[in-house]
């Protein structure tokens, strides 16, 4: 692609294209690929230097040029002086925000693939992953011809042909646009994707043509990055502020942030609720160990009776979000009613492992105060009065420290035994993280401290007897633990299954 095509609609402060003493017209500069990782740069690529939280791409310009970068995009003009450009034989673009520029170039490079796809973005603190999985399943089982659904989220990406593990909940803009292009080539008609607050704040989703945006909830998380809940809200709100008039905004009206999220949107608004009458609402809800039974209403003459094996009140919210999405697309009840009974939760979300000795382990991704509270409130009715809930959890290092004592308080209040361990300690001292958790606890329940997660899981399971439930929270589908700067293999599910095999078979 020619540089002139690539920078279409990009706001450029300065273009320095005097190479080896000759001025090169931008339309004559051929670009092979757009890169933001200097290690991936090859001959005739364009390198965009972006500033991250732990790195600055401007420091890797030399590496990019040595590998063959033809054009370099910078925010800091001094990082590549004009004289050096001439000497090295590279063109330079100076922009005010290289992340915005990367997103615009990505869109141009892949020729706006989302203009030909129905893109459904799901954002919120909790429920994003499950909601995307439910929407995908309902669409695929909707009895509509030629529907093929791509997926982008915390657990995996699916491009219409193959699935592969996710690196980020929402990838960088150039990686996103490449995924969309692959999905289009693989005959996808729809894409369901999680949209993180980081991605919104860092302009990774700029230029994506969202046909639908879904808001699940907003509770405390990521304050290490956003600092305040107000700033966190502002990041989430970006998705809805940029929707077009022919788009749909689907929002949880039970959230106290509902009106703030949609007050500036141009999109048509659909609200859902499990507590009160709304555009879509549920009543006569029954929650049991077998799942959810409910009546869904949508202002039509007939209400809809739904049964699903999903557990808990928060999964009813996820179910309503998914149903509201298909309703907003004009897909009739007759097309999807049979799909509800077949719905499966996302991997690592309330995943049950039954022991031969009749206790149950529940593996869940809950790693925020609200998610842990909802997880334990879902499990509590499944435990007989004289039996125990044993909760194992930790908190991530190098992340929001203020949520640690809150999670400790919630675990103690809603459990009979608490096992505090490590999550992903990263570069923090695990014992200091545990100390922060303990600061929120009264220590009026049996509390076991074990920083080593493998050992902690064993100690938690050793406490279980017939009828007990052991909640292993925080990691869910993840099969690794980040200690220092290293990622080591560790799967909660595998550890539980190995314990059962060793001690109970």
In terms of domains, do 76 and 63 share one?
A: yes
Tell me the per-residue pLDDT of 66-75, one tens digit each, with 9 for 90 and over.
999 999 999 9
Q: What is the pLDDT of residues 289-303, one digit of tens each?
A: 889 999 999 877 778
pLDDT at residue 54 in the model: 78
List Cα–Cα distances, 211 to 114, 127, 169, 244, 342, in angstroms: 9, 20, 20, 8, 26
Name the more confident of 220 and 420.
420
Query: In which residue are the tokens 């999405």 written?
Result: 325
Q: What is the CATH number of the domain that holds 499?
A: 3.90.190.20
Answer whether 48's CB lies under 8 Å from 42's CB. no
Same domain, 129 and 155: yes
Share of the chain above pLDDT 90, in %: 84
Please determine, for residue 334, whether its predicted confidence score (pLDDT) is greater than 90. no
Residues 319 and 174 in one domain: yes
- In this structure, are 297 and 329 located in the same domain? yes
Token digits for 146? 């030629």
Confidence of residue 21 (pLDDT cuts 50, 70, 90): low
Instruction: Mention every residue, 6+ apart, whose C-beta is less than 8 A from residue 315.
Output: 130, 292, 345, 350, 378
CATH of the domain at 32: 3.40.1390.10
Residues 204, 246 share a domain: yes
What's the confidence (pLDDT) of residue 144? Answer: 83
What pLDDT is recorded for position 103?
98
Q: What is the pLDDT of residue 13?
A: 95
The pTM of the whole model exceeds 0.85? yes
Q: What is the mean pLDDT of residues 137-153?
A: 93
Residues 225 and 297 both lie in one domain = yes
Same domain as 460, residue 314:
no
Q: What is the pLDDT of residue 22?
A: 67
Q: Which of 101-105, 106-110, 219-223 comes out lowest in average pLDDT?
A: 219-223
Same domain, yes or no, for 48 and 126?
A: no
Residues 265 and 157 both lie in one domain: yes
Claim to verify: residue 474 and residue 489 sit in the same structural domain: yes
Task: Read off the tokens for 238.
Answer: 């970006």
How many whole angstroms separate alpha carbon 341 and alpha carbon 395? 35
Provide the domain count of the chain. Answer: 3
Q: Sign of torsion, CA 414 495 131 103?
A: positive
pLDDT in tens, 429-459: 999 999 999 999 998 999 999 999 999 999 9
365 and 409, same domain (yes or no): yes
CATH label of the domain that carries residue 177: 3.40.1190.10
Which domain, by its residues, includes 134?
111-342
The predicted-structure confidence for 342-387, as pLDDT tens digits, reads as follows 899 899 999 999 999 999 999 999 999 999 999 999 999 889 989 9
């Amino acid at each position: 692609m020619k540089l002139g095509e690539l920078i279409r609609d990009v706001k450029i402060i300065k273009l320095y294209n005097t190479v080896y003493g000759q001025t090169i017209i931008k339309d004559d500069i051929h670009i092979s690929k757009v890169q933001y990782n200097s290690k991936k740069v090859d001959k005739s690529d364009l390198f965009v230097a972006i500033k991250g939280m732990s790195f600055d791409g401007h420091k890797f310009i030399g590496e990019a040029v040595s590998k063959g970068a033809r054009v370099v995009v910078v925010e800091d003009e001094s990082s590549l002086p004009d004289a050096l450009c001439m000497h090295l034989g590279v063109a330079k673009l100076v922009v005010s925000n290289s992340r915005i520029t990367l997103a615009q170039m990505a869109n141009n490079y892949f020729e706006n693939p989302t203009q030909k796809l129905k893109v459904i973005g799901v954002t919120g603190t909790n429920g994003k992953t499950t909601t995307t999985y439910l929407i995908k399943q309902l669409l695929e089982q909707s009895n509509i011809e030629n529907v093929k659904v791509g997926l982008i989220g915390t657990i995996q990406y699916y491009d219409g042909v193959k699935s592969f593990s996710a690196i980020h909940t929402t990838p960088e803009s150039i990686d996103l646009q490449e995924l969309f292009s692959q999905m289009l080539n693989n005959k996808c008609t729809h894409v369901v994707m999680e949209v993180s607050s980081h991605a919104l704040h860092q302009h990774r989703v700029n230029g994506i043509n969202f046909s639908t945006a879904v808001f699940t909830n907003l509770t405390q998380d990521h304050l290490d990055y956003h600092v305040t809940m107000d700033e966190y809200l502002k990041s989430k709100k970006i998705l809805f502020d940029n929707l077009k008039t022919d788009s749909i905004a689907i929002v949880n009206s039970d959230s106290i942030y509902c009106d703030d999220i949609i007050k500036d949107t141009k999109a048509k608004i659909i609200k859902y609720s499990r507590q009160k009458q709304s555009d879509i609402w549920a009543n006569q809800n029954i929650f049991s160990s077998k799942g959810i039974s409910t009546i869904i209403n949508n202002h039509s003459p007939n209400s809809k009776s739904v049964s699903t094996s999903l557990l808990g009140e928060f999964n009813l919210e996820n179910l309503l979000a998914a149903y509201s999405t298909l309703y907003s697309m004009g897909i009739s009840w007759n097309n999807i009613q049979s799909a509800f009974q077949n719905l499966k939760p996302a991997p690592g979300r309330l995943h049950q492992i039954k022991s031969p000795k009749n206790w149950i382990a529940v593996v869940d991704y809950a790693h925020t105060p609200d998610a842990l509270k909802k997880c334990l409130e879902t499990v509590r009715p499944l435990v007989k009065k004289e039996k125990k809930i044993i909760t194992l959890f930790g908190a991530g290092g190098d992340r929001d420290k203020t949520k640690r004592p809150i999670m400790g308080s919630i675990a103690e209040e809603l459990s009979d035994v608490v096992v505090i361990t490590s999550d992903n300690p990263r570069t923090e001292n695990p014992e200091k993280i545990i100390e922060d958790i303990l600061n929120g606890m009264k220590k009026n329940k049996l509390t076991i401290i074990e920083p080593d997660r493998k050992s902690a899981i064993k100690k938690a399971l050793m406490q279980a007897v017939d009828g007990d439930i052991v909640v292993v929270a925080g990691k869910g589908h993840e099969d690794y633990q980040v200690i220092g700067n290293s990622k080591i293999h560790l799967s909660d599910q595998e550890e539980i299954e190995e314990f059962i095999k060793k001690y109970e078979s």
